[in-house]
Amino acid sequence: MVEQFDLLVVGGGSGGLACAQRAAEYGARVALVEPGRLGGTCVNVGCVPKKIMWNASEIRATLDDGVDYAFRPTPTGHDWASLKAKRDAYVARLNGFYARNLASKKIAHVEAHGSFIGPEHIHAAGRTLGAPHIVIATGGRPVWPTIPGAPLGITSDGFFDLTARPERVAVAGSGYIAVELAGILAGLGSKVALVIRGQEVLKQFDALLGQTALLMLREAGVDIESSCRGAALARRPDGCLEFELHDGRRLGPLDSVIWAVGRVPNVEDLALERAGVHLSPAGFIATDDFQATNAAGIYAVGDVTGRIPLTPVAIAAGRRLADRLFGGQHGRRLDYDIVPTVIFGHPPIGAVGLSEMQARARHGQDVKVYTSTFVPLYYAMTTRKPHTHMKLVTVGADERIVGLHVIGPGADEMLQGFAVALRRGVRKRDFDDTVAIHPTSAEEFVTMR
């Protein structure tokens, strides 16, 4: 027997939950199929627990700075296990919150794996669910390297299972996850080595951000092992790990090795061929500007599409899709062009719009760039003197701002407002005509010359 709904959502992460709940608010009969903890990567092994660990690392730095501000702190060490327990309890409360939300909106929650048995039907937990609209929101997972001994290490997911802080750790990867984890661990007192294949990190961002991030990681005591890749991981007789690199270098002894070398979409168990859904050459579910796949009535949102894998992007795409399908908002879709993003490094990194390289490739000689480098006032009293770096990328005679980039304290909080301005087509003169808030780092964006 087929249980019929207006919408089926396969995946209970940020995008799937957002789409299901918005559709239910319009009166649609919705079922959500998810075998694991609600909230997906972000809530369980991503943004939320990561930010808590980042907060702890930032507090450690603040305590150190307290001496320069004439405090006499008494160091007592950091209880990783206690913080983990509190963090995990908070995540569990969020899982329960999402479950209660589904129930309050009368969304059927099927706690099982779902797979297609046809273009309008899903099989889950021995049940056959049907709907004219099906949304795939199954997210992604970390990649494991294919080298001998790789399972002796852990992925970014495994980082949140650690019951104690590893004293000596290697992080392999050059993307934002690797940069974040290296910074968190170094900030909490671990001896960290960051292993990168080339000479740069954050290659998808403006070069200023990647270069400065590496500099600041080095200043935090992180060893940068560049132009190398892992060859093997082995357990030593003393129980520690030894990480062999392709050029013969050996890192160790280590307490942990964290693989942050990429992510892949969760598509293998969906039986997409039964619905005729096509994948992109990179293995993601191919979608158009309206989140639609090639198969009529089947859509995809979030990391499984490979399009800007950020939680707010998945949420926005899911809600807009529901607005269009059930809210009568024809033409409603997500614009992927100007999406702000923050990397929680130490300090945080923010970017919205085009990098300088992207702008020059698109607009050539019409590009003009403004930069600023300074030591924030906070560090006037401290021994350490890290610089904040900012860049504005403008185009045309009227200097429309097409890119804004910053690395420094407060980057995460200041970026949201500037993102709104870029979406509204702000010009450099609009920044110039805005009265600065002093003394802040954000004022530098409206006083650049």
Say if residue 332's pLDDT is above 70.
yes
Task: Please tell me the predicted confidence (pLDDT) of residue 439.
Answer: 97
How would CATH label the architecture of 347-446?
2-Layer Sandwich (3.30)
181-208 pLDDT, tens digit each: 999 999 999 999 999 999 999 999 999 9
Tell me whether the CATH fold assigned to 2-142+264-326 matches the one assigned to 150-261: yes
| Beta carbons of 348 and 412 less than 8 angstroms apart | yes
The yes/no answer on whether domain 2-142+264-326 falls in CATH 3.40.50.11030 is no
φ, ψ dihedrals at 247, nearest 5°:
-95, 10
Say what percent of the chain tops pLDDT 70: 100
Q: Where are the domains of the chain?
A: 2-142+264-326, 150-261, 347-446
Say if residue 74's pLDDT is above 80.
no
| Beta carbons of 239 and 166 less than 8 angstroms apart | no
The span from the CA of 56 to the CA of 48, in Å, is 13
In the block, residue with structure tokens 């992460």:
13
Say if residue 117's pLDDT is above 90.
yes
The span from the CA of 241 to the CA of 88, in Å, is 27
What secondary structure does DSSP assign to 321-366, as a single string?
A: HHHHHHS--TT-----SS--EEE--SS-EEEEE--HHHHHHHHGGG
Average model confidence (pLDDT) for the chain?
Answer: 97
294-331 pLDDT, tens digit each: 999 999 999 999 999 999 999 999 999 999 999 999 99
The span from the CA of 45 to the CA of 177, in Å, is 12
Buried b (16+ CB within 10 A) or exposed e, 319-335: bbbbbbbbbeeeeebbe
Q: What residues have CB less than 8 Å from 406, skipping those under 6 apart?
A: 349, 350, 351, 388, 389, 390, 391, 414, 415, 441, 445
| CATH number of the 150-261 domain | 3.50.50.60
| Residues labelled as active-site residues | 438
Q: How many Cβ atoms from other residues are within 10 Å of residue 437's Cβ?
A: 10
